[in-house]
Structure 1
Amino acid sequence: MRILKDLFNLFYPKLCANCEHQLTQNENVLCTFCRHDLPLTNFTDSLENKIAKTFYGRVAIEKANSLLFYRKTGITKKLIHELKYKGNEEIGHFFGNWLGEILKENKDFLDIDVIIPVPLHPKKRRQRGYNQVTKFGKSLSKHLEKPLIENILIRTSTSKTQTFKARFERFNNIDTKFQLSDITILKNKHVLLIDDVITTGATLEACAKELQKTAGVKISILTMAYTE
Structure 2
Amino acid sequence: MKIKSLINLFFPEVCVACKDYLSDNETFLCTNCRHQLPTTNFHVNNDNFVKNVFYGRAKLEAATALLRFEKKGMVQHLLHQLKYGNNEDISRFFGDWLGEELKLSNQYNDIDLVIPVPLHSKKLKKRGYNQVTQFGQKIAKALNTSFSEDLLIKITNTETSQASKSRLERWQLDNETFSVTQLDTLNNKHILLVDDIITTGNTLEACILELNKAHNIKISIAAMAIA
What is the TM-score of this pair, normalised by structure 1? 0.93
What is the DSSP-based 3-state SS (H/G/I as helix, E as strand, rest coil) of the residue aligned with 2:147?
coil
Q: Distance in 1 between matches of 2:101 and 2:46?
A: 16
What is the DSSP-based 3-state SS (H/G/I as helix, E as strand, rest coil) of the residue aligned with 2:42?
coil
Matches within 5 A, 1:59-208: 59-159=58-158, 160-208=160-208
Provide the aligned length of Structure 1 versus Structure 2. 226
Q: Distance in 1 between matches of 2:44 and 2:22?
A: 34
1:40 aligns with 2:14: no
Q: Distance in 2 between matches of 1:45 and 1:196?
A: 19
Over 3 Å counting, the alpha-carbon distance change for 1:136 and 1:183 in structure 2 is same
- Structure 1 stretch displaced more, 156-165 or 21-30: 156-165
Q: Distance in 1 between matches of 2:157 and 2:45?
A: 31
What is the DSSP-based 3-state SS (H/G/I as helix, E as strand, rest coil) of the residue aligned with 1:16?
coil
Q: Distance in 1 between matches of 2:180 and 2:224?
A: 24
Which runs of 5 or more residues in structure 1 are unaligned?
none
Q: Distance in 2 between matches of 1:202 and 1:114?
A: 22
Q: Distance in 2 between matches of 1:107 and 1:59?
A: 21
2:221 alignment partner in structure 1: 221
Q: Which amino acid is 2:186 matched to?
A: L
Whether the 8 Å CA contact 1:55–1:205 is kept in 2: the answer is: yes
**Structure 1 residue 6: deviation in Å?**
4.5
Matches within 5 A, 1:8-19: 8-19=7-18
**Structure 1 residue 47: deviation in Å?**
6.2
Deviations 1:152-206 (A, max 9, x none): 1001111122332211111223421111111111011110000000001000000
Q: Distance in 2 between matches of 1:196 and 1:34?
A: 20
Deviations 1:15-69 (A, max 9, x none): 1110011111211110000000000012146865211000011111111001100
Q: Which amino acid is 2:178 matched to?
A: F
Q: Which amino acid is 1:104 matched to?
A: K
Q: Distance in 2 between matches of 1:139 and 1:16?
A: 21
Query: In angstroms, what is the RMSD of aligned CA positions?
Result: 1.7
Q: Distance in 1 between matches of 2:31 and 2:174?
A: 41
Whether the 8 Å CA contact 1:47–1:64 is kept in 2: the answer is: no
Matches within 5 A, 1:19-58: 19-44=18-43, 48-58=47-57
Q: Distance in 2 between matches of 1:46 and 1:187?
A: 30
Q: Distance in 2 between matches of 1:54 and 1:12?
A: 45
What is the DSSP-based 3-state SS (H/G/I as helix, E as strand, rest coil) of the residue aligned with 2:104?
helix
Deviations 1:78-125 (A, max 9, x none): 011111110111111111111111112233411111000000111111
What is the DSSP-based 3-state SS (H/G/I as helix, E as strand, rest coil) of the residue aligned with 1:185?
helix
Q: Which amino acid is 1:123 matched to?
A: K
What is the DSSP-based 3-state SS (H/G/I as helix, E as strand, rest coil) of the residue aligned with 2:208?
helix
Which runs of 5 or more residues in structure 2 are unaligned?
none
What is the DSSP-based 3-state SS (H/G/I as helix, E as strand, rest coil) of the residue aligned with 1:21?
coil
Whether the 8 Å CA contact 1:47–1:62 is kept in 2: the answer is: no
